[in-house]
Amino acid sequence: MARDSRELCHLTSDAAKVPISGVERPAKGRCAALPKIVSLFSGAGGLDLGFKEVGYSIAVAIDSGDAPIRTHRRNFPRTKAIVGDLTELQPAGVLQHVKEKLAANQRIGVIGGPPCQGFSRANTNSHASDPRNELPALYLEIVRELQRTYIVEFLVFENVLGIRDRKHADTYKALVDGMTGLGFDVCAKELCATDFGVPQYRRRIVLLGMRRGQGYPPVRPRKRKGVETVRQAIGTLGAPAFFEYGLLAEDIPVHPNHWTMRPKSARFINPEGHSGDGRSFKRLSWNAPSPTIAFGHREIHVHPSGRRRLSIYEAMLLQGFPEAYVIEGNLSEQVTQISNAVPPPLARSVASAVKLALNRG
Ligand X SMILES: C[S@@+](CC[C@H](N)C(=O)[O-])C[C@H]1O[C@@H](n2cnc3c(N)ncnc32)[C@H](O)[C@@H]1O
Contact positions toward ligand X, by CB under 6 A?
41-47, 63-65, 68, 85-87, 113-116, 340-342
> What phi and psi, each to the nearest 5 degrees, are found at residue 187?
-135, 135
| Shortest spacing between CB 137 and ligand X, in angstroms | 12
**Cβ nearer to ligand X, comparing 45 with 271:** 45
Q: DSSP states of 86-108 as a string?
A: HHHHHHHHHHHHHHTTS-TT-EE
Rounded to whole angstroms, the maximal C-alpha distance in the chain is: 69
| Shortest spacing between CB 11 and ligand X, in angstroms | 26
| Shortest spacing between CB 115 and ligand X, in angstroms | 4
Instruction: Give Cα 201 distance to the centre of its chain.
Output: 15
| Torsion, CA 311, CA 316, CA 320, CA 325, rounded to 10 | -130
| Shortest spacing between CB 199 and ligand X, in angstroms | 18
**Cβ nearer to ligand X, comparing 47 with 155:** 47
Strand, helix or coil for residue 220: coil
Output the CA angle 126-131-132, nearest 5 degrees: 75
Closest CA to 334 of 246, 264, 243: 243
Could you tell me if 194 and 200 are in contact, meaning their C-beta atoms sit under 8 angstroms apart?
yes
**Cβ nearer to ligand X, comparing 114 with 183:** 114
| Shortest spacing between CB 253 and ligand X, in angstroms | 25
Instruction: Give Cα 214 distance to the centre of its chain.
Output: 27
Report the Cα–Cα distance between both ends of the chain, in Å, rounded. Answer: 35
**Cβ nearer to ligand X, comparing 42 with 106:** 42
| Shortest spacing between CB 63 and ligand X, in angstroms | 5
| Shortest spacing between CB 20 and ligand X, in angstroms | 29
User: Residue type for 335, please?
Assistant: V
**Cβ nearer to ligand X, comparing 115 with 276:** 115
Nearest residue relative to ligand X (C-beta):
43
**Cβ nearer to ligand X, comparing 114 with 271:** 114
Q: Are strands 107-112 and 80-83 parallel, antiparallel or unpaired?
A: unpaired
**Cβ nearer to ligand X, comparing 52 with 255:** 52
User: Residue type for 235, please?
Assistant: G
Closest CA to 108 of 116, 117, 118, 99: 99
